[in-house]
Structure 1
Amino acid sequence: MAERVDDQRIPVTVTFLEMTAPPAHYPPLPVGRQIALLKARNIPLHYYRYLMDRVGRKWHWVNALRLSDDELAEGLAAPGRDIRVLYLDGVPAGFFDLKPHLPESVELAYFGMMEQAMGQGMGRWFLGAAIEAAWSASPTFITVQTCTLDHPAALPLYQKLGFSPVGQSHELVRPMSFDERAGSVMRD
């Protein structure tokens, strides 16, 4: 019997944050690990969905997974879109996705690590790398949002690295059923 989640909505509090100046310094790269951060060019839809699913499944990142192929392809091809994939010991371990709204701002739309990479002291460096990439576009400010479904360390980490809360909203998230998630990831 298929899991039914259509009527189950999860209340969340979304916190909107901004950073109006680049940090004075960025966290150092962890030592003693085989780490690579690669900019994805022309990322295949299936790989983007894989990253989104693996990084965001626990946190209910569903919006991008629900997009049609055409909608997702259009968004990923937007000028200035910057997606970088973190590799740890040769395998994907996380990603971030920057959406420029230039000349004014860059949005850190998605940032996260896969479960096998968490708790290894890389989060601060990885977020610093995302912030540095965002500032490289020379915006006036960068934005990010997090919610009560995200990792409990997300909001404090954003604040430690220089983001300040500027607002909140209350929303309802409709989780994806197993069948819906499988269908999304198997497209393309």
Structure 2
Amino acid sequence: MTVDGTSRATLIARITHLEMNSIPPVRVPIPHGPRLAVMRAREVPLHFYRYLYEQVGKPHHWLARRNLSDDELGAILHADHTDLHILYVDGAPAGFFELNHSQAPRDAEIVYFGIVPDFQGRGLARFLLSEAIFAAWSREPERVVISTNTLDSPRALQLYQRAGFSPYAFSEEAVQPWL
């Protein structure tokens, strides 16, 4: 039961784990129209990361970073093996991706990837995913991995597969929904 007396049903997320074993031959070009910038955020302020994480992740019930203390979150985000890149559209934060290189040289992982709802449907995801892929390959891993689940955007799996990722494993996870 929640504080207001209602119950929260646990959601079951079916997870698809995907891999890419070679770098794509070309990058997706920057879309025409608004001014775009993808910037690596070094020593990102935790409140700003939490804002991005909630904006992108809340509709999909992301949970791994939701209840971490500042010390726990800072240790992850400010580690040498973590790279955070933020997409800006006309100066406003519109999405982000986070890379984990802790398994190098074997794997580079795209841990988080997403577009803020206000900027979805503008053709930005394909471009930002391409940027994430090339940033992940920059440390020359053997493969790049990413996961998606049935609570993510229904187009995420198709987007990843069109970019060159292939499923290699499946799993399930119980998720407490955002209120």
Could you say which TM-score interval applies, normalised by the shorter chain? over 0.9
1:156 aligned residue: 158
Q: 1:51 is matched with which residue?
A: 52
Three-state SS of the structure 2 residue aligned to 1:72 is helix
Alignment of 1:1-188 (within 5 A): 2-3=3-4, 7-100=8-101, 101-177=103-179
Q: Which AA in structure 2 matches 1:131?
A: I
Does the 8 Å contact 2:99/2:109 carry over to 1? Answer: yes
TM-score normalised by L of structure 2? 0.94
Contact 2:105 2:142 in 1 (8 A): yes
Distance, in Å, in 1 between the alignment partners of 2:114 and 2:63 is 14
Is the 1:5–1:174 Cα contact (8 Å) retained in structure 2? no
Q: How many matched pairs?
A: 177
Cα shift readout 1:29-66 (whole Å, capped 9, x = no counterpart): 10122101111010111111110001111011121011
Three-state SS of the structure 1 residue aligned to 2:75 is helix
Aligned amino acid, residue 158 of structure 1: Y
Q: For 1:92 and 1:33, how far apart are their aligned partners in 2?
A: 13
Distance 2:4 2:67 in 1: 17
Deviation readout 1:138-187 (Å, 9 max, x if unpaired): 1110100000000011000000000000010122101233xxxxxxxxxx
Code of the aligned partner of 2:21: T
Q: Which SS does the other structure have where 2:66 is aligned?
A: helix
Per-residue CA deviations over 1:104-148 (Å, capped at 9, x if unaligned) read: 111100000001111111111110000000000111101000000
- Give the Å deviation of 1:69: 1.3
Where structure 2 has 5 or more consecutive residues not aligned to the other structure, the ranges are none
| Structure 2 CA distance for aligned equivalents of residues 5 and 55 of structure 1 | 25
Q: Alpha carbon RMSD of aligned pairs, Å?
A: 1.5
TM-score by length of 1: 0.90
CA contact (8 A) 1:60 1:175 kept: yes
Q: Percent identity?
A: 42
Change (3 A) 1:48 1:4: farther
Whole-angstrom CA distance in 2 between matches of 1:105 and 1:83:
17
User: 2: CA distance between counterparts of 1:80 and 1:26?
Assistant: 23
Return the letter of the residue paired with 1:135.
W
CA distance in 1, matches of 2:169, 2:38: 31
Contact 1:12–1:173, Cα closer than 8 Å, also in 2: yes
Query: Which letter does structure 1 place at the counterpart of 2:34?
Result: R
Q: Which runs of 5+ in 1 are unaligned?
A: 178-188
Q: 8 Å contact 1:5–1:175 — kept in the other structure?
A: no
Question: 2:33 is matched by which residue type in structure 1?
Answer: G
CA drift of 1:4 comes to 5.9
